[in-house]
Structure 1
Amino acid sequence: MDYPPGTLLRVQQVRRTSLIAQVTDQLRAEIRSGRWPVGSRIPTEPELTELTGTGRNTVREAVQALVHAGMLERRQGSGTYVIATSDLGGTLAKYFADAVERDILELRQALDTQAAHLAAQRRDDNDIATLRHLLDERRKAWDDDDPGAIHADIQLHRGIVVASHNAVYLEFYDSLLPIMEQGIRSRTSKSGGSYHTEHAELVNAVIAGDSERAARAANCFLGSLIAEYPEH
């Protein structure tokens, strides 16, 4: 059978586009499942080609699609990192990127306070073990002046949100993580404060199941940070 000129090329383009979409969905599923958590570096391009069973060009375009969606971020000389668990999270992250630091802290105060309250009510044995581990990791990283100290700090606060067992809450909180990291890095370069006591009080209150104490600890901690910034 004879086909009009260009038909074969169009069929090939459709198949390629479909394959890229499939790989994009596969990578998106890895992120949403938590196997590639926010803040983590995704596998290298050769590893992704092996994982998906496709060529480098297909993988490259699938990754770029998720970069455009705001779920991934390329960092020169370092790799590609997860910055959001959904397209919505990526959109919010872009919006918050230009926000005033005090505004972000005030939003965090509301989110962290309620998350701590819920976590104290709902945390289970796994959450307790995780929070103890994250608190220890944060303290050690900070005392050792580890480059990953800020990441450890963020993961501890995120761990409390995880312990609230509210998936929507967690997805929204994840959208804030990149701008939160930026703010913590900026404050740390100025003050260098470790806030070990405040974090220990927050975690211990959640573990103890004391929701009022946990909320108070989160509220006071963020309130003290907000006080360092002038009113608008």
Structure 2
Amino acid sequence: MPVSKAVALGQWLQRQITSGAWPVNSRIPTESEIATQHGVGRSTVREATHSVTMLGMLEALPGCGTFVRSASPVNSVLAGYLGRHSAEGVRALRTALEAEAAALAALRRTDAQAAAIEQAAASGLGGCRRLSAFHRLVFEAAGEALLSDLYDGLFTVPAQPSAVAGRRPATDSTAEHELIAAAIRAGDADAARTAAARHAGHELAPEKRVAATGGRPLGRRLEPSG
């Protein structure tokens, strides 16, 4: 049985990501551009993009476009499990993961990785650049796939509205990123862990409201904000 246009297009979108044609944190072409390229309607593109977004591979930012979030589908079992826990617990996990990744990066990073992390830290944030290449580079330098998989799972919690956690002025995040980068460059795991934990603590503001389904608290979808 032939697949629908939306399914076929969704498969193409996934191949663009998994092949590296569209790197993590890159902006994908617009709906109109994809529709013209494939000779389909924008509603078909929207349906295909939504299906890949639900896999955790894409993320739509209103007014900015759609960005590549992950090079592979986020584990739905993991995302579902995290969704059954409070936002407070999910934030605590994110803090622990970022801190440990920074410590491992300080011990394992190559010179090229250290330079890339420093460049990302100095570039700061702004406009549509909320998807932080900085943290992605730190996790890559840490070299632990399990940590990266858990981190990716944090950002695809089902049945929750998209919300930005703990937004602060970009200059604040930039200064803290630079401290983490300096500790990683110096190979100081303790300093990197401490700086990353402090940064995450500042970024992740407490929830004002906890959504619940069936009487069980759900973690709100948290997004990389710094």
C-alpha distance in 1 between matches for 2:99 and 2:112: 21
Pick from 61, 74, 84 the counterpart of residue 88 of structure 1.
Answer: 74
Structure 2 residue 88 is the aligned partner of structure 1 residue 102: yes
**Superposition map of 1:49-68 within 5 A:** 54-57=38-41, 59=45, 61-68=47-54
The structural deviation recorded for 1:109 is 1.8
Assess, with a 3 A threshold, how the Cα gap between structure 1 residues 193 and 177 changes in structure 2: closer, same or farther: farther
Distance 1:158 1:122 in 2: 15
Cα deviation for residue 43 of structure 1 reads 1.1
Identical pairs, percent:
32
Secondary structure, counterpart of 1:56 in structure 2: coil
5 Å-filtered alignment, 1:30-45, equals 30-45=16-31
RMSD: 3.9
State whether residues 59 and 69 of structure 2, in contact with CA within 8 Å, keep that contact through their aligned partners in structure 1: yes
93 and 225 in structure 1: CA distance in 2 versus 1, 3 angstrom threshold: same
SS in 2 for 1:81: strand
Between the two structures, name the one with larger relative contact order (CA 8 Å, sep ≥ 6): 2
After superposition, what is the alpha-carbon deviation per residue over 1:166-221, rounded to whole angstroms, capped at 9, x for unaligned?
33432432343578971032xx28xx871554332211111112222222322344
Question: Residue 121 of structure 1 aligns to which amino acid in structure 2?
Answer: L
Q: The residue matched to 2:22 in structure 1 has which SS?
A: coil
Q: Is the 8 A contact 2:58 2:70 kept in 1?
A: yes
For structure 1, list consecutive stretches of 5 or more residues without a partner in the other structure: 1-13
CA distance in 1, matches of 2:77, 2:5: 25
Unaligned 5+ segments in structure 2 are 211-226
Output the CA distance in 2 between the equivalents of 1:60 and 1:150. Answer: 22
What is the aligned residue count? 202
**What does residue 184 of structure 1 align with?**
166
Distance 2:98 2:33 in 1: 37
Q: 1:72 aligns with which of 58, 66, 85?
A: 58
Is the contact made by 2:165 and 2:203 (CA closer than 8 Å) also made in structure 1? no
SS at match of 1:80: strand
Distance 1:73 1:195 in 2: 21
Tell me the amino acid that sits aligned with residue 165 of structure 1.
G
TM-score, length-normalised on structure 2?
0.67
